[in-house]
Chain A
Amino acid sequence: MAEPQTSELNLDDLEVSSGLTGRKHLLSLMVENRPGVLARIALLFSRRGFNIDTLAVGPTEDPDISRITLTVDGAVHPIDQVTKQLHKLVNVIKIRDMEPEATVSREMALFKVSASIENRAEIMEFSQIFRAQIVDVSRRTMTIEVTGTDDKIDAFERMVRPHGLVEMARTGEVAIARSRPES
């Protein structure tokens, strides 16, 4: 039997949440490590008209499970719908929409920059400020490895671009939830 309750409810008070959050979302997917899983995810995104901004795939502590970290723009796509569609894939075990404050995220990027005698010192100075590593040097170029949040990498890119950015490669962010301080 249903519990007794008041029947008051004003239909006008019912509201819906708008689907768009207006911010970037970092989704961490634990998926079965088998052939075709990435293809299913990629197809789902293209079929539903969702854009993936970055994507990083790699193993986890469990050899049967891979982690896919992807970023999606919540200003353009309803994240709720994206995660619900992803959940329908049988090979997707778990999805976390990572809360920015409770997440450690990092991305790695390699920048090949034109480096003449005149600007070489300046580039090295930036690199130091950004705690970046110079991993390759030639007569005309330097290759710099930067690790950090995507904001930091964007900032580094803005600094080196005026010097002549020859090539850039970025991994896409990977993320892990922060542990609570007491644990």
Chain B
Amino acid sequence: MRAADALCEALKAEGVEHVFGIPGGASLPLYDALYDADFEHVQVRHEQGGGHAAEGYAKASGRVGVAFATSGPGATNLVTAIADAVMDSVPTVFITGQVRTELIGTDGFQEADVTGITMPVVKHSFLVTDPAQIPEYVHHAFHIASSGRPGPVLIDIPQDLSRAEIEYEPITGKPKLPGYQPTTEGNIKQIRIAAKAMANARRPVIYAGGGVINAGASEELRELARSDDFPVTCTLMGLGAFPAPDEQWLGMLGMHGTRAANYAMDEADLIIAVGARFDDRITGKLSEFAPRAKFIHIDVDPAEISKNVAAHIPIVGSAHDVLPKLTGEYRALQADPARLADWWQQIRDWQEKYPLSYEDSEDSEIKPQFMVEELYRATGGDAIITSDVGQHQMWAAQYYHFPEPRRWINSGGLGTMGFGLPAAIGAKVAMPDQQVVCLAGDGSLIMVCQEMATAAAHDLDVKVMLMNNGHFGMVRQWQELFWDERYKSVEMGPSPDWVKLAEAFGWTAAACDDKHALPEAMRSVLETPGPALLDVRVSQTENCYPMIPAGAAARDMVG
């Protein structure tokens, strides 16, 4: 069998139903094989879009997302998506064509050392040197991408090798990778100590991250939180792991988190970190982060434990395996819930004193926060929301309440502007029966607007709610607050006319600049069949608050 056909067989054996990509010279044999493959190829308009679509597909469904690109520029266009996937631990497999073996190292046409370029941003990569390896590498790639701490795996295939003839035997059984054995179960002795610490804590907080969603452990997290009256906060990546709103829910923590969540971390005597990595957007000034707390840190990646904040009780394991054991051990201790009463009193005080709030307009001006609240109402909190990066992303995290995991898809770690639209395309391909809405920023959407053609060509029912403030809003905010209002290159001006642009791509589009007309405009766009965009003209200079200034401590939140 031709190696490229064996590649498709192996992908099929992995359960692949969709791949995203763009063909090119070095991937001609792969695309020739795709002609006969049993799964669908979604042709995108830029490889970065294909990469983010694969991420959106994976984040929405929990399945491995797959993207193809050709050699050279095709492959380098994927790099941002690969780096994004490694930062947010997204299970993805990227397959690139490479120039013919004899041309490697000669600076051949469309040659780029993509395995070299991506080495710091992949979980693992394979450069094929023998075509017979291809099926095995596919299985290894899927295993590595989806197990342990998920992440991106690259397979780079020289063109001559993908068209070579090989003996193909379907491969079954567990991949043999002597250097790759993720620990998932968690040490029971450590779990018992953790349970005791929780039983003795008077000011505990559960701090949950994207690892909970990756592990499919949202139910298990809820069980743990309900085993007593534990307050819960989530990172940007963890939103939806615990239902919002909820009595025990403190809101998101970190730079634009709620005061209640950040103050609770600051005052806590025990922090139970689950699938979270103490990123600088969470800790602020590290030396003043949660100064009174002891830390239980549960993570499937041992290297995350004590990387930024030293853990008193480290537990290496998947949230899915560890949390039920921890809940069981904790329940057995029969701790007295009354010990948390004072703590809750304190938290309720903060919540009452510092709710998330904004000053709504008195005229028809649309405040961006109002737009998010309206989107929440219009979708009943039931849509998959993707976003770009910036103010609109933070407002979405604050004002859209995610009741379930995998409803909130955004670029947290790398902070990739332009992530939202292609991710929405991927999410819609994965979950065709769910409503998918991209809450876009105008600075971000322009970076990937070509993918509107992808949605139109495949008639994908994605909606874009464009929060159009005419600025790179978050940068503008920082220039205002921290750089003496010396605004430089943050204004976008009136171009493009988004309605015309969307229509040119074959979308339905409308604009709205009146608060009173917004609910109806949103409902109308959401009910329009096929891809549709609503250009929402919001206040241009609204700032996103509250905020912990970079490098400051949680108790120094402003706004």
Contact A5-B294, Cβ < 8 Å, known A80-B306, A81-B303: no
Q: Which of A1, A88, A90, A94 contacts B301 (CB 8 A)?
A: A88
Q: Tell me, in angstroms, the Cα distance from A148 to B407 when the chains sit together.
A: 61
Is the beta-carbon distance between A39 and B193 smaller than 8 angstroms?
no
CA distance A87 to B180 in the complex (A): 8
Q: Are A84 and B335 in contact (CB under 8 A)?
A: no
Encoded as 1 (CB less than 8 Å from any A CB) or 0, chain B from 518 to 540 comes to: 00000000000000000000000
Contact B310 A8 (CB under 8 A): no
* Bound form: Cα–Cα A41–B123 in Å: 13
Asked if A16 CB lies within 8 Å of chain B CBs, one says: yes
Q: Residues of A within 8 Å of B, CB-based: how many? A: 38
A93 and B178 in contact (CB under 8 A), knowing A5-B192, A10-B200, A87-B303?
A: yes
B332 adjacent to A11 (CB under 8 Å): no
- Interface flags, B286-319, vs A, CB<8A=1, else 0: 0000000010000001110111001111000000
Decide if A11 touches B269 in the complex (CB within 8 Å).
Answer: yes
Known: A14-B197, A14-B294, A91-B179. A43 touches B306 (CB 8 A): no
List the A residue with the shortest CB-CB distance to B305.
A84
Instruction: For the complex formed, measure the closest distance between the CB of A50 and the CB atoms of chain B, giving whole angstroms.
Output: 12
- Please judge, given known A-B contacts A15-B312, A90-B180, whether A9 and B193 are in contact too, CB under 8 Å: yes
- The answer to whether B197 touches A36 (Cβ under 8 A) is no
Contact in complex: B197, A47 (CB < 8 Å): no
Interface size in chain B (residues, C-beta < 8 A): 41
**Interface membership of B199, Cβ < 8 A:** yes
**B332 and A2 within 8 A (CB):** yes
Instruction: Name which residue of chain A comes closest to B193, CB basis.
Output: A9
Number of A-B residue pairs, CB cutoff 8 Å, is 87
Contacts of A36 on B, CB cut-off 8 Å? Answer: 115, 119, 127
A contact residues around B313 at 8 Å (CB):
14
**Closest chain B residue to A3 by CB distance?**
B332
* B328 interface residue (CB < 8 Å to A): yes
Would you give the shortest CB distance from A1 to chain B, in whole angstroms? Answer: 7
Q: How far is the CB of B318 from chain A (nearest CB, A)?
A: 16
Q: A8-B196, A11-B197, A81-B303 are in contact. Are A1 and B179 (CB under 8 A)?
A: no
Q: Across the interface, which residues of A come within 8 angstroms of B303, CB to CB? A: 81, 84-85, 87-88
Chain A residue at minimal CB-CB distance from B335: A7
A1-B328, A14-B313, A36-B115 known; A81 vs B196 contact (CB < 8 Å): no
A7–B333 touching, CB < 8 Å? yes
> Once the chains bind, are B124 and A19 in contact (CB under 8 Å)?
no
Instruction: Using known A-B contacts A35-B127, A90-B124, determine if residue A11 contacts B179 with beta carbons closer than 8 Å.
Output: no
Is B348 located at the chain interface by the 8 A CB criterion?
no
Question: In the bound complex, do residue B193 and residue A2 qualify as a contact, i.e. CB atoms below 8 Å apart?
Answer: no
Max chain A C-beta neighbours (<10 A), residue from B116, B178, B270: B178
Indicate if B380 sits at the interface (CB-CB under 8 A).
no
Which residues of chain B are within 8 angstroms of A3 by Cβ–Cβ distance? 332
Known: A9-B197, A14-B197, A14-B312. A2 touches B328 (CB 8 A): yes
CA of A99 to CA of B93, assembled, Å: 40
Residues of A within 8 A of B199 (CB): 7, 9
Q: How far is the CA of A85 from the CA of B200 in the complex (A)?
A: 33
- Contact call B306/A47, Cβ cutoff below 8 A: no
CB nearest neighbor in B for A2:
B332
A1-B328, A5-B192, A87-B302 known; A11 vs B270 contact (CB < 8 Å) = yes
Cα A118 to Cα B329 with chains together (Å): 79
Contact call A43/B120, Cβ cutoff below 8 A: yes
CA distance A26 to B127 in the complex (A): 31
In the bound complex, what is the Cα–Cα distance between A94 and B181 (angstroms)? 11
Are B119 and A11 touching (Cβ within 8 A)? no
User: Using a CB-CB cutoff of 8 Å, which residues 75-99 of chain A contact chain B?
Assistant: 78, 80-81, 84-85, 87-94
B201–A11 contact, CB under 8 A? yes
Residue among A7, A19, A31, A80 with most chain B CB within 10 A: A7
A residues whose Cβ falls under 8 Å from a Cβ of B: 1-5, 7-11, 14-19, 31-32, 35-36, 39-40, 43-44, 47, 78, 80-81, 84-85, 87-94
Q: Which residues of B contact A (CB under 8 A)?
A: 115-116, 119-120, 123-124, 127, 129, 144, 177-180, 192-193, 195-197, 199-201, 269-270, 294, 301-303, 305-307, 310-313, 328-329, 331-335
Minimum-distance CB pairs A-B, first 4: A2-B332, A16-B310, A84-B303, A9-B196
A-B contact pairs, 9 of them (CB 8 A): A7-B333, A11-B270, A11-B294, A15-B312, A84-B303, A90-B144, A90-B179, A90-B180, A92-B179
